[in-house]
């Protein structure tokens, strides 16, 4: 399991690698990532990510490149975030529809009360207000 900071580094590393097609150094990562850590911490995290199989180093003096495991991990994370966003969107839509239905029901109750009192002026006023909202 990787930490949040390691996940952010992996995300930046993959994006930079896709953009440049070149191995990414810890120095380059420090420039682009928004983490307030020293270069040694980044190198330690990169070493942990290498040990976990998310990145590899083509040769000793090269930067790191993502592995298939890294791409699969980030794709699964994106899919999970997409599903969460979709769920949130659906719940907002349901809540908005529910609120609209409650408003319409309240309006209908007003009309029914006016009908019971046989007050045509109130009925027309209520219908006019309702019509302007639509």
pLDDT tens, 119-134? 777 777 777 777 776 6
| 92 inside domain | yes
| 48 inside domain | yes
| 57 inside domain | yes
Question: Are residues 108 and 58 both part of a single domain?
Answer: no
Report the distance separating Cα 5 and Cα 42, nearest Å.
Answer: 9
Q: Locate all alpha helices (DSSP H) within the chain, ordered by sequence.
A: 4-20, 26-32, 39-52, 68-116, 120-133
Question: Are residues 86 and 47 both part of a single domain?
Answer: no
| 39 inside domain | yes
This prediction's pTM:
0.66
pLDDT per 10-residue tile (average), the chain, 134 residues: 92 93 89 84 93 91 92 94 95 95 86 77 76 68
Domain limits for position 111: 82-133
Question: Are residues 62 and 109 both part of a single domain?
Answer: no
* 17: phi then psi, degrees, rounded to nearest 5: -65, -40
What's the confidence (pLDDT) of residue 126?
75
What's the confidence (pLDDT) of residue 69?
96
Question: Are residues 12 and 46 both part of a single domain?
Answer: yes
Residues 6+ apart with CB under 8 A from 16: 24, 28, 29, 32
Question: Are residues 39 and 90 both part of a single domain?
Answer: no
Residue with tokens 């302007």: 132
Give the number of other CB atoms < 10 A from CB of residue 30. Answer: 17
What's the confidence (pLDDT) of residue 65?
95
3-state DSSP assignment of residue 96 = helix
| 47 inside domain | yes
Question: Are residues 104 and 56 both part of a single domain?
Answer: no
Question: Are residues 8 and 62 both part of a single domain?
Answer: yes
What's the confidence (pLDDT) of residue 87?
94
What's the confidence (pLDDT) of residue 11?
93
């Amino acid at each position: 399991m990787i930490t949040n900071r390691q996940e952010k580094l992996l995300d930046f590393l993959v994006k930079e690698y896709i953009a440049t097609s070149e191995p990414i150094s810890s120095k380059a990562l420090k420039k682009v990532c928004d983490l307030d850590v020293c270069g040694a911490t980044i190198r330690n995290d990169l070493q942990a990510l290498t040990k976990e199989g998310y990145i590899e180093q083509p040769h000793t003096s090269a930067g790191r490149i993502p592995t298939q495991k890294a791409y699969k991990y980030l794709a699964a994370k994106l899919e999970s975030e997409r599903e969460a966003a979709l769920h949130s969107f659906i719940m907002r839509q349901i809540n908005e529809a529910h609120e609209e239905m409650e408003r319409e029901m309240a309006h209908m109750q007003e009309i029914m009360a006016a009908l019971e009192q046989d007050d045509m002026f109130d009925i027309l006023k209520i219908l006019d207000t309702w019509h302007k909202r639509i």
